[in-house]
């Protein structure tokens, strides 16, 4: 809004000078987008604060036109596909990043300054084992978690051994994983648990939605690709990885971090054990599978028996 010519032409900022700017989700704003702001108001701004998570996905390409422009100009994949590229945000500027303040939003008690009033707020986030893993492998041990759930069973991996990735236009599907997800969703629905399903690929999201609908299960506002679910969370999250041959989406640590940090109580990940132990071993989720060990894995038979 501050970049719109009418703001300058109206003379409003001559009456009420712009002295402080707080930029939220700064990791999703490309550096060039600050030029109108700084060009118009740079001499007046006294304080400029950037808030965001540089360890999660950058650049929200919800606009199809923007996605297509980036795909053509930078040879990157559109929204909901393998890779969105590595455009620079404010957090990639080393001279600014070195003095950044780390705000631990996973801590149960946060001091929040609202005007001149400081109040104590409670926040339930990821189960402790998941939060600790993400802290070690993504945030350099800085992320703290005070969640009441301490069992590693809050994260289970489902070995869909027969699942195979299949090309679908510019995206990917995995039919066997979709079957497993629907089976799990049915069980959780019958238990009265609130769930959301996320996957890296739009084609798989469409497949999952149609399968839920065919099974007479709640399907509206249930299935999301990872990019569209950033900033959201749910008690129980079911994930479909899709890929079984190429690492694809999992090569992007930021987006994988988003995917693994959406649950408040439990996370069930449908994937191939062989894939995570070999081709995807070096990925963030491959490291999780390696660290969790055999106890984290469930088989298709376990799913059929409702043992999750």
Q: What does the pLDDT look like over 94-129, one tens digit per residue?
A: 777 677 665 655 554 444 444 343 443 434 578 999
The answer to whether 239 and 268 are in contact (CB under 8 A) is yes
Q: Which residue has the tokens 């604060």?
A: 49
For residue 58, the model assigns a pLDDT of 54
For residue 3, the model assigns a pLDDT of 66
Q: How far is CA 114 from CA 47, 53, 118, 122, in A?
A: 18, 21, 6, 15
The answer to whether 75 and 69 are in contact (CB under 8 A) is no
Enumerate long-range contacts of 207-211, CB under 8 Å, 24 or more apart: 207/173, 207/175, 207/178, 208/178, 208/181, 208/182, 208/240, 211/178, 211/179, 211/181, 211/182
Q: Is 151-304 a CATH 3.40.50.300 domain?
A: yes
The answer to whether 133 and 256 are in contact (CB under 8 A) is no
* Residue boundaries of the structural domains of the chain: 5-101, 151-304
pLDDT in tens, 247-267: 999 999 989 999 999 999 999
Question: Mind listing the pLDDT tens digit of every residue in the chain (308 residues)?
Answer: 666 667 667 777 777 778 888 888 777 777 878 877 787 777 888 888 887 776 675 554 443 344 444 444 444 444 454 554 556 777 777 777 677 665 655 554 444 444 343 443 434 578 999 999 999 999 888 887 778 899 999 999 999 999 999 999 999 999 999 999 999 999 999 999 999 999 999 999 999 999 999 999 999 999 999 988 988 999 999 999 999 999 999 999 989 999 999 999 999 999 999 999 999 999 999 999 999 999 999 998 898 888 87
pLDDT in tens, 27-58: 777 787 887 778 777 788 888 888 777 667 55
The answer to whether 299 and 160 are in contact (CB under 8 A) is no
For residue 57, the model assigns a pLDDT of 58
The answer for 245, left when phi > 0, alpha when psi is -120 to 50, beta otherwise, is alpha
What tokens were used for 36? 């109108």
């Amino acid at each position: 809004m501050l970049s719109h010519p009418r703001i300058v032409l109206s003379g409003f900022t001559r009456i009420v000078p712009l002295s402080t700017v707080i930029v939220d989700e700064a990791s999703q704003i490309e550096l060039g987008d600050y030029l109108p702001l700084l060009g118009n108001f740079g001499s007046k701004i006294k304080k400029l604060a950037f808030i965001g998570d540089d360890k999660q996905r950058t650049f929200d390409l919800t606009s199809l036109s923007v996605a297509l422009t980036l795909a053509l100009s930078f040879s990157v994949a559109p929204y909901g596909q393998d890779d969105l590229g590595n455009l620079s945000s404010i957090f990639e500027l080393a001279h600014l990043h070195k003095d950044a303040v780390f705000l631990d939003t996973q801590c149960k008690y946060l001091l929040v300054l609202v005007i001149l009033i400081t109040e104590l707020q409670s926040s339930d986030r990821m189960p402790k084992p998941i939060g600790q893993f993400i802290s070690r492998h993504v945030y350099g041990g800085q992320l703290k978690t005070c969640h009441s759930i301490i069992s590693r069973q809050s994260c289970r991996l489902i070995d869909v051994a027969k699942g195979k990735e299949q090309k679908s236009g510019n995206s990917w599907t995995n039919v066997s994983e979709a079957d497993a997800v629907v089976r799990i969703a049915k069980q959780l629905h019958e238990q009265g648990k609130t769930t959301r399903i996320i996957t890296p690929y739009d084609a798989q999201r469409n497949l999952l939605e149609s399968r839920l609908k065919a099974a007479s299960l709640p399907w509206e506002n249930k299935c999301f690709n990872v990019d569209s679910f950033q900033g959201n969370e749910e008690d129980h999250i079911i994930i479909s990885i899709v890929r079984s041959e190429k690492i694809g989406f999992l090569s992007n640590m930021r987006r994988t971090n988003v995917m693994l940090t959406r649950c408040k109580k439990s996370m069930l990940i449908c994937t191939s054990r062989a894939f995570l132990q070999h081709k995807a071993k070096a990925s963030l989720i491959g490291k999780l599978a390696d660290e969790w060990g055999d106890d984290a894995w469930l088989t298709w038979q376990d799913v059929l028996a409702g043992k999750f």
